[in-house]
């Protein structure tokens, strides 16, 4: 995915501006801080913070990269190292001392020369390794993405006991949207689209795990909910923009998700005389429309 650069009086403000452009939450973005904000006398901002961000691609770590855990010694070895009380002519030796003695003897044995093995101090230095060529990112495997995503979603529809058809659509550069159409799909949307969002997260996890290479950004729409939401937001933004043009006063909209704020910004950007900006933090962040 392409990087976007934004600035702000603080790093958080610059990050929020980038999330508005990408239309994703903070957890779904890769963020790099390019410049910290610098202040002058009396706390005035001398230079703004600058960051760059892109939509993150989360993929589980490969099994080969995981470190092997050391196995614990068998219980018999621990028991054998403990002395038997009353053994010998003197008093029993504490177990702690016995283990210490055993560890010292192990060190002495490890220092003894081993046939055929050259001591490290006498080894010749290894030649420097050649730097590895950067790994090339393969083109988006749309066929693999489609098959993996549709298989998962079809199984999920059956698990819900519903009837639906899954289709795949390219809606932007590196953006694939899966759409489930059919009757009575409200249970897969849930209140405020919370269930839809959860299924979308599962979809991304499944596809990223199964597909080699960059699968791009994945979206999910169930029963046309997101499309209806997008159209409603566009019409609402145009209506509010008309009121701002008529009254000359700015209007602050209700707090929205990053994806919804992106729709508002994109719509407002196509209206002459209107500018949009976001204010607030986290769940209280909202879009303000004003004269430009």
Average pLDDT by consecutive 10-residue portion of the chain (292 residues)?
A: 80 83 78 80 72 72 48 47 47 47 47 51 53 42 86 95 94 87 93 91 91 84 93 95 94 90 92 91 88 88
pLDDT tens sequence across 209-234: 888 777 888 999 999 999 999 999 99
The SS3 assignment for 171 reads strand
| Among candidate residues 291, 287, 286, 261, the one with its CA nearest the CA of residue 274 | 291
Q: How high is the pLDDT of residue 248?
A: 93
Q: Residue 216: what pLDDT?
A: 83
pLDDT tens readout for residues 104-126: 444 444 455 545 444 555 555 55
First and final CA of the chain: distance in angstroms?
Answer: 31
Pick the closest to residue 29 from 10, 2, 54, 64 (CA basis). Answer: 54
Distance CA 213, CA 165 (A): 27
Q: What is the pTM of this model?
A: 0.58
Angle, helices 11-22/258-269, rounded to nearest 10 degrees? 80
Contact 193, 225 (CB under 8 A): yes
The β-bridge relationship of strands 165-172 and 175-181 is antiparallel
The predicted pLDDT at position 150 comes to 95
Nearest to 148 by CA among 222, 216, 75, 63: 216
Residue 174 near residue 212, CB atoms below 8 Å: no
Please report the DSSP string for 40-97 in residue order: -GGG-EEE-EEEEEEE----PPPGGGSPPPPPPPPHHHHHHHSPPTT-SSSPPPPHHH
């Amino acid at each position: 995915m392409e990087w976007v650069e934004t600035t702000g009086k603080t790093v958080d403000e610059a990050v929020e501006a980038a999330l508005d452009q990408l239309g994703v939450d903070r957890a779904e973005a890769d963020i790099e801080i390019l410049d910290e904000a610098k202040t002058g006398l009396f706390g005035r901002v001398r230079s703004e913070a600058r960051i760059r961000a892109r939509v993150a691609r989360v993929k589980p770590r490969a099994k080969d990269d995981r470190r092997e855990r050391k196995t614990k010694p068998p219980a018999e070895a621990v028991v054998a190292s403990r002395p038997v009380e009353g053994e010998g002519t003197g008093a029993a030796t504490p177990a702690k001392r016995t283990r210490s003695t055993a560890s010292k003897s192990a060190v002495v044995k490890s220092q003894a020369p081993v046939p055929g093995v050259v001591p490290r101090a006498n080894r010749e230095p290894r030649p420097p390794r050649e730097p590895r060529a950067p790994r090339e990112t393969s083109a988006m495997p749309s066929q693999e993405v489609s098959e993996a995503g549709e298989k998962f979603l079809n199984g999920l529809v059956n698990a819900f006991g519903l009837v639906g058809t899954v289709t795949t659509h390219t809606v932007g550069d590196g953006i694939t949207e899966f759409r489930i159409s059919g009757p009575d799909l409200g249970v897969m949307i849930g209140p405020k689209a919370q269930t839809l969002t959860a299924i979308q997260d599962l979809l991304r996890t499944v596809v990223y795990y199964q597909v080699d290479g960059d699968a791009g950004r994945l979206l999910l729409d169930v029963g046309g909910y997101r499309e209806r939401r997008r159209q409603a937001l566009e019409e609402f933004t145009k209506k509010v923009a008309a009121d701002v043009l008529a009254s000359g006063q700015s209007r602050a909209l209700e707090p929205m998700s990053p994806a919804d704020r992106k729709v508002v910004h994109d719509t407002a950007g196509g209206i002459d005389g209107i500018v949009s900006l976001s204010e607030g933090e986290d769940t209280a962040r909202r879009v303000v429309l004003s004269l430009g």
